Amino acid sequence: MDRYVAIHAKPNGPGDARTTAEQVLADEELAGKWQDRTVLITGATSGLGMEIARVLHKTGAKIFITSRQQAKGDEVAQAISSENPAFHPVEAIEMPMDSFESVRKVAAVFPSKGSKLDVLLLNAGVMAAPEGRTKDGSEIHFGTNYLAHFLLFQLPKPSLLQASKSGLHSRVVILSSGAHKSNGVHPDNYNLEGDYNPYMAYAQSKTANIYMANESNRRFSKMGSMHCPSTQALSLILRLLVTKVVVILCVTTWPRRETTSVHGPSRFRKAPPHQFLLLRRGPWKVKEGCIWKTARCQSRRLRVALLIIKVMLLTHMMRVWRQSFGKIACVWSGS
């Protein structure tokens, strides 16, 4: 993955020099190399999910996609399959994510298709929806983006573990978002009753996705059986699937959020080294990579500004700690 670091240093919007999924596929020489692997992708009838399915189909893998409506899923599956007629045709499965019953139904019939499961890509989701509930009574974002995917991961887990082998582990990729930085998880009020905001509801679900990815990775990567990254960019999804590096990512220009185990603090923010500002009395230092540059605060206003920033950072850290303590254990209770 190091080869891509430089071109991501200064992103310049759509069409810039950053890698595409197809470029990663070519770099890793994966075209036609996954004909013995099976991939299940949720929410793959549009956007990122459809592009993931289209590019991964070029590997020769057997691709299953889920959709809210069977007709739409069949249409997308046929379009993708026509690009690579020599490979397994893409198969669509109807699975509305607002119903646990539909998730259980798909998990029950999937083994009958005669396929093991090597890669599970949890991509489906809703964003900024009006206040509502799933068929099971959960807040629509939390139920669709997190709870349904959590269930879909748990049910076929034995198949994922069985498919894993030395040097070619199973993968569970969970799509998150930079929006996670806006809100934590509220175990005392998952539905945000009396305090609903569609963007905060979405952010809560994306934070829960990261909790799920981190804890899953801790539970199974140590067994050498499964890696469970969380990410936001398509080219990185492809890289996570083909590399042996265990990483937890939420791709964003902002500091990313990670979690520790259920026995420790549940969340902290981590920024790249060049975003760290070390504040000290008198001289101050900015860390750029591994090079330390020193300067002296000559301006009284600057010293006051730095002091204010220091107080704000400490206040923020305390707020995040108070909001987050013990939440992973609540999110994972009963698992």
- Catalytically active residues are 176, 202, 206
Distance CA 147, CA 139 (A): 10
Give the list of residues 6+ apart from residue 202 with CB closer than 8 angstroms, or none. 126, 127, 128, 141, 145, 177, 179
Instruction: Give how far the C-alpha of residue 296 lies from the chain's centroid of Cα atoms, to the nearest Å.
Output: 41
- The answer to whether the CB of 136 falls within 8 A of the CB of 99 is yes
Q: Which among 63, 61, 50 is positioned nearest to 90, based on CA atoms?
A: 63
Q: Is 197 exposed, middle or buried (0-12, 13-18, 19+ CB in 10 A)?
A: middle
- The answer to whether the CB of 237 falls within 8 A of the CB of 21 is yes
Distance CA 63, CA 38 (A): 6
Distance CA 50, CA 30 (A): 19
Start-to-end C-alpha separation, the chain: 33
How would you classify the pairing of strands 226-227 and 170-175? parallel
- The answer to whether the CB of 174 falls within 8 A of the CB of 205 is no
Give the list of residues 6+ apart from residue 110 with CB closer than 8 angstroms, or none. 40, 64, 93, 117, 156, 159
Distance CA 73, CA 65 (A): 7
Q: Is 194 left (phi over 0), alpha (psi -120 to 50) or beta?
A: left
Distance CA 285, CA 233 (A): 33
Q: Please name the residue that has the structure tokens 């974002």.
A: 141
